[in-house]
């Protein structure tokens, strides 16, 4: 396996820490072909001017975040811009103390393209767009960039391009700031460029500050940040990209909101986004959110507690095990099979060997024995997750590497490994499932 050590290090260290690596996923992607194909079908719709909304539902460690990051890589390869964020106690979809705006800021901070996959691509996108317009102006007008009339012609084309946004909510101000960025770019005014970027990132806290520095009487707020996501989607298409994909993980943090009104306000924001995308009120925009089954299905605090969403998202009468509708708004992750997990740990053993410069010593029989023992634990058929298996396996590889005299089979068959405490046990101990209905 030819894999750079830098990527191998990210993969091994991220997975050992229980998080999904942001690079190198093609080296370890196993299974999920049906789910990936269903989501990539959405991509074709988005690139033609449509919009889509999906929920990915699965238990902790089942691979939700992995699937999101896999899709992230696929759509960037297809010319999309991707923004992604994890919700948290300080980042929600709607709030009264800046929590919704904090999510917007995180999304824009993580704006990524194929050439800037690590995030922070906003400035690159704007500069690329301006250079594209300048090139088109030169080709269409025959004028040289040094010509006195060239800048006037270029600005006219800029205005024609962004005028299409004027009919959208807040589109006039958005367009005005794009023109201001162009003028700053042409005039080499880095300070003004930074101020415009600051506005697009939602970092102005008062209208007075924005008016003083930019001459605009509006700022991005908790209530309207989603309107600017829709504006970005349309602008990015004009700038030469296929569209915008929004990935939001950890919906459980909405489920955990204790205040009923605040929680319902967040679900109302989800409903607004869902309706906009499915009714064609947004263009070139895809939204994917992920959460646990409880986050979706709990009728007291989950998404299903909001009747307008429950009636839209509840499974139909014909879905059953083995016959899941992957074109429905909700994609429920099936567990990876034993065979798929065997392929995955084999890939990880090869990556581990590349990272630490040794010849792979774990045999196919030992890999099979590892999977057999993992799935042989009591309750593993329904409770064990890919995250737990991966962490166990990387720990096993680390121990064998650091102790050359140790035997893989001896470690696998030891009581300490075979009866190790599972993540499910820890969740029960920590009170993860302490609250339930009778």
What is the phi/psi pair of residue 320, to 5°? -155, 175
Question: Which of 304, 332, 360 is at the close of a domain?
Answer: 332
Whether residues 73 and 54 share a domain: the answer is: yes
Q: Considering the domain boundaries, does residue 402 fall inside one?
A: yes
- Give percent helix, percent strand, percent coil of the chain, each to the nearest 5: 55, 10, 35
Final residue of a structural domain among 214, 230, 252: 214
Residue among 384, 388, 333 at smallest CA distance from 55: 333
In what helix (H) or strand (E) does residue 307 lie, and over which residues does it extend?
helix 307-313
Average pLDDT, the chain: 87
Cα separation, 116 vs 23, in Å, equals 12
Same domain, 42 and 188: no
Q: What pLDDT does 352 receive?
A: 92
Q: Which residues contact 23 (CB under 8 A, 6 or more apart)?
A: 7, 10, 117, 118
Encode pLDDT of 222-244 as tens digits. 999 999 999 999 999 999 999 99
| pLDDT-based confidence at residue 406 (cuts at 50, 70, 90) | confident
Query: If DSSP codes are grouped into helix, strand and coil, which group holds residue 86?
Result: strand
Q: What is the mean pLDDT of residues 367-379?
A: 78
Rounded to 10 deg, the angle between the 171-186 and 122-141 helix axes is: 80
223, part of any domain: no
Better pLDDT: 320 or 337: 337
Above 60 in pLDDT, residue 423?
A: no
Examine the pLDDT at 424 and tell me if it is beyond 90. no
pLDDT above 60: residue 425: no
In this structure, how many other beta carbons lie within 10 angstroms of the beta carbon of residue 219? Answer: 20
Give the closest residue to 288 by CA, choosing from 15, 55, 2: 55
Is the same domain home to 246 and 319? yes
The size of the chain, in residues, is 438
* pLDDT of 431: 44
**Same structural domain, 370 and 403:** yes
The answer to the question of residue 100 being in a domain is yes
Of residues 316 and 71, more confidently modeled: 71
59-73, 223-237, 299-313: segment of lowest average pLDDT:
59-73
- As for how many domains the chain has, the answer is 3
Q: Which residue has the higher pLDDT, 142 or 253?
A: 253
pLDDT of residue 380: 55
Residues 6+ apart with CB under 8 A from 436: none
Q: What is the number of other CB atoms lying within 10 angstroms of the CB of residue 42?
A: 22
Interatomic CA distance for residues 181 and 54, integer angstroms: 34
Which helix (H) or strand (E) covers residue 198, if one does?
helix 190-200
Residue 154 in this model has a pLDDT that exceeds 90: no
- The model carries a pTM of 0.83
The pLDDT assigned to 429 comes to 41
| 235 inside domain | no
Q: What pLDDT, on a 0 to 100 scale, did the predictor assign at position 83? A: 97
- CB-based contact 169:178 (threshold 8 Å): no
With a cut of 80, say whether residue 435 has pLDDT above it.
no
Average of per-residue pLDDT across 283-290: 96
Asked if 423 and 385 touch (Cβ cutoff 8 Å), the reply is: yes
The answer to whether residues 145 and 187 belong to one domain is yes
| pLDDT computed for residue 366 by the predictor | 86
Q: Are 389 and 376 in contact (CB under 8 A)?
A: no
C-alpha 30/C-alpha 345 separation (Å) is 10
pLDDT in tens, 86-127: 999 999 999 888 999 999 999 999 999 999 998 999 999 999
Give the torsion sign (CA, 26, 29, 31, 36).
Answer: negative
Look at residue 85 and tell me if it is in a domain: yes
Query: For residue 244, what are its two tokens?
Result: 């915008």
Q: Quick one: tokens of 165?
A: 């946004």
Contact between 58 and 68 (Cβ < 8 Å): no
Greatest C-alpha distance within the chain: 82
Q: Output the six-digit token pair for 222.
A: 């908790």
Distance from C-alpha of 129 to C-alpha of 131, rounded to nearest angstrom: 5
Tens digits of residue pLDDT in 187-233: 899 999 999 999 999 999 999 999 999 999 999 999 999 999 999 99
Which own/partner pairs from 406-412 qualify as long-range (CB within 8 Å, at least 24 positions apart)? 408/361, 408/362, 408/363, 408/366, 409/366, 409/369, 412/366, 412/369, 412/370, 412/373
Tokens of 86: 């994890």
Q: Label residue 274 by pLDDT band (50, 70, 90).
A: very high
pLDDT of residue 58: 87
Cβ-Cβ contacts under 8 Å for 64 (sequence gap 6 or more): 56, 57, 58, 249, 290, 291, 333
Instruction: Give yes or no for residue 316 having a pLDDT over 70.
Output: no
The CATH number linked to 258 is 3.40.50.300
User: Is 64 part of any domain?
Assistant: yes
Q: Answer yes or no: do 343 and 317 share one domain.
A: no
pLDDT for 427: 44
Domain co-membership, 88 together with 154: no
Q: Are residues 186 and 144 in the same domain?
A: yes
Q: Please indicate, yes or no, if residue 50 is contained in any of the structural domains.
A: yes
Give the residue numbers spanning the domain of 396: 338-425
Q: How high is the pLDDT of residue 428? A: 39
In terms of Cα–Cα distance, which of 47, 11, 1, 38 is closest to 333?
38
Cα torsion angle, 323, 327, 330, 332, sign: positive
For residues 398-407, average pLDDT: 83
Please, which pLDDT band fits residue 42 given cuts at 50, 70 and 90? very high
Give me the pLDDT at residue 372, please.
85
CA 321/CA 306 separation, integer angstroms: 26
**Does residue 16 belong to any structural domain of this protein?**
no
CA distance 37 to 30: 13
Residues 197 and 58 in one domain: no
Q: Are 248 and 328 part of one and the same domain?
A: yes
Domain boundary at 332, 360, 386, which? Answer: 332
Residue with tokens 């946004």: 165
């Amino acid at each position: 396996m030819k894999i750079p050590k830098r990527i191998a290090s990210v993969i091994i260290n991220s997975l050992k820490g229980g998080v999904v690596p942001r690079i190198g996923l093609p080296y370890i992607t196993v299974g999920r072909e049906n789910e990936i194909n269903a989501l990539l079908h959405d991509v074709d719709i988005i690139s033609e001017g449509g919009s889509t909304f999906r929920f990915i539902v699965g238990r902790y460690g089942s691979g939700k975040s992995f699937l999101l990051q896999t899709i992230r890589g696929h759509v960037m390869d297809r010319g999309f811009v991707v923004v992604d964020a994890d919700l948290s106690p300080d980042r929600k979809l709607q709030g009264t103390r800046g929590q919704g705006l904090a999510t917007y800021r995180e999304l824009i901070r993580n704006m990524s393209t194929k050439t800037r996959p690590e995030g922070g691509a906003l400035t690159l996108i704007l500069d690329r767009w301006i250079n594209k317009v300048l090139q088109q102006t030169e080709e269409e007008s025959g004028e040289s960039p040094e010509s006195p009339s060239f800048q006037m012609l270029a600005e006219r084309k800029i205005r024609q391009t962004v005028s299409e946004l004027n009919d959208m909510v807040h589109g006039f101000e958005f367009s005005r700031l794009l023109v201001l960025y162009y003028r700053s770019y042409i005039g080499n005014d880095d300070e003004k460029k930074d101020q415009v970027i600051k506005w697009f990132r939602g970092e102005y806290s008062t209208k007075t500050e924005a008016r003083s520095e930019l001459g605009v009487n509006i700022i991005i707020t908790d209530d309207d940040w989603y309107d600017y996501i829709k504006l970005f989607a349309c602008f990015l298409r004009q700038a030469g990209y296929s569209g915008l994909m929004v990935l939001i993980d950890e919906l459980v943090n909405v489920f955990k909101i204790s205040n009923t009104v605040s929680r319902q306000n967040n679900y109302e924001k989800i409903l607004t986004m869902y309706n906009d995308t499915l009714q064609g009120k947004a263009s070139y925009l895809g939204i994917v959110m992920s959460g646990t089954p409880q986050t979706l299905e709990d009728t007291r605090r989950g998404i299903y507690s909001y009747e307008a969403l429950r009636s839209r998202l509840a499974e139909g009468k014909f879905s059953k095990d083995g016959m899941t509708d992957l074109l429905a708004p909700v994609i429920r992750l099936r567990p990876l099979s034993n065979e798929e997990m065997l392929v995955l740990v084999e890939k990880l053993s090869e990556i581990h060997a590349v990272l630490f410069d040794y010849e792979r010593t774990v045999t196919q029989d030992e890999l099979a024995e590892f999977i057999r023992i993992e799935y042989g634990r009591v309750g593993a058929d329904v409770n064990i997750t890919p995250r737990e298996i991966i962490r166990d396996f990387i720990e096993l590889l680390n121990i064998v590497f650091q102790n050359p005299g140790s035997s893989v089979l001896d470690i696998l068959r030891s009581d300490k490994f075979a009866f190790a405490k599972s993540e499910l046990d820890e969740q029960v101990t920590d009170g993860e499932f302490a609250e339930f209905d009778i």
